[in-house]
Amino acid sequence: MNATVERFLQYLRLERNLSWRTVDLYRRDLEQWDAFVTGGNGNLDLASVTASDIRAWLMQRSAQGDCAGTLRHKVQAIRALYRYLLRRGDVASNPAAQVDLAKLAKPLPKFVRQPAVDAVLDADIDEDDFTQVRDRLIVMLFYETGIRLSELIGLQDTAVDTASRELKVRGKRDKDRIVPFGDELVKWIEHYRTLRATLQPECSNLLVTVKGKPLYPSLVYHVVHDSLAAAGATGKLSPHVLRHTFASVMLNDGAQLNSVKELLGHESLAATQVYTHVTLSELQYNYELAHPRALKKGG
């Protein structure tokens, strides 16, 4: 390993106080790079390295199976080395600054399949039990309106109008939006309000604890997770996954993308467009399950 690179690694550990594990990751990447540039002879001339050299190395690493995240870290390691060299006056430029970072693939939003949600919303509960009714309403609100966890917790009782079948949501950056809902939610909200009145709640929120106080995130998370898990759903089971499910169901059932954007309270259409990929993957899944030709094996 080049002596200057060794000094850089010592600088990371002793002056930047990075962990041994992090420094070892830098060491591994820089050793691989050194071996590529010098052919393994150890005579790395840092000042002569070009952006093209680095790109050629990244192409080799990609061909050998390195993922985008790994390639990004390798470029960042070289960039950090050259920033160190620039401060010392050892080089005139940072060739890695001219190399674009590999783009990370954005994972598709997770969602819950319809049978699991139906199992939760159709399950028998004690409709005289406040907690059971409230928990059913929590899941139903997420699934039928697509609101965020913070929006559900902060939802004011006066913002929910069962006559007009609309609720007013205070979203990100304190922006209000109106979200419509259907007859089933009207029934459950009105029944819940009847039970809640016996608690004499201490706050103006729609949803409260058994002590009449505002809900808190961990309580809502566990209500959603436990309800879906009991219905046989697997994977990540959270309020945000139900928000994703709402968006996917709306698009699958023919809603316009811009309408879903407004219902979700997204700033831009780009944030909503990711759900079109989810609906396409769901269509493919259903096709493979149902189409007689798709079920045939071997062509």
CA dihedral 182, 184, 188, 193 (to 10 degrees): 40
Single out the catalytic residue among 27, 61, 243, 261.
243
Instruction: Based on the residue annotation, tell me whether 148 is a catalytic residue of this protein.
Output: yes
Single out the catalytic residue among 110, 170, 191, 266.
266
Q: Compute CA distances 243 → 105, 140, 182, 246, 264, whole Å.
A: 21, 11, 17, 5, 8
Q: What single-letter amino acid sits at 37? A: V
Instruction: Based on the residue annotation, tell me whether 82 is a catalytic residue of this protein.
Output: no
CA dihedral 76, 82, 87, 91 (to 10 degrees): -160
Q: Compute CA distances 145 → 12, 165, 180, 184, 249, whole Å.
A: 49, 11, 7, 12, 11
Which helix (H) or strand (E) segment holds residue 170: the answer is: strand 166-170
Question: Beta-carbon neighbour count of residue 48 at 10 Å?
Answer: 10
Nearest in space to 1 (alpha carbons), one of 24, 36, 37, 35: 35
Instruction: Based on the residue annotation, tell me whether 275 is a catalytic residue of this protein.
Output: yes
Instruction: Give dist(CA 100, CA 79) in Å, integer.
Output: 11
Say which residues have a Cβ less than 8 Å from residue 33's Cβ, sequence separation at least 6: 54, 57, 74, 77, 78
Tell me if residue 267 falls in helix, strand or coil.
coil
Instruction: Based on the residue annotation, tell me whether 21 is a catalytic residue of this protein.
Output: no
Single out the catalytic residue among 172, 236, 277, 291.
172
Nearest in space to 111 (alpha carbons), one of 271, 259, 204, 235: 235
Instruction: Based on the residue annotation, tell me whether 291 is a catalytic residue of this protein.
Output: no
Instruction: Based on the residue annotation, tell me whether 27 is a catalytic residue of this protein.
Output: no
Single out the catalytic residue among 148, 168, 170, 177.
148
Catalytically active residues are: 148, 172, 240, 243, 266, 275
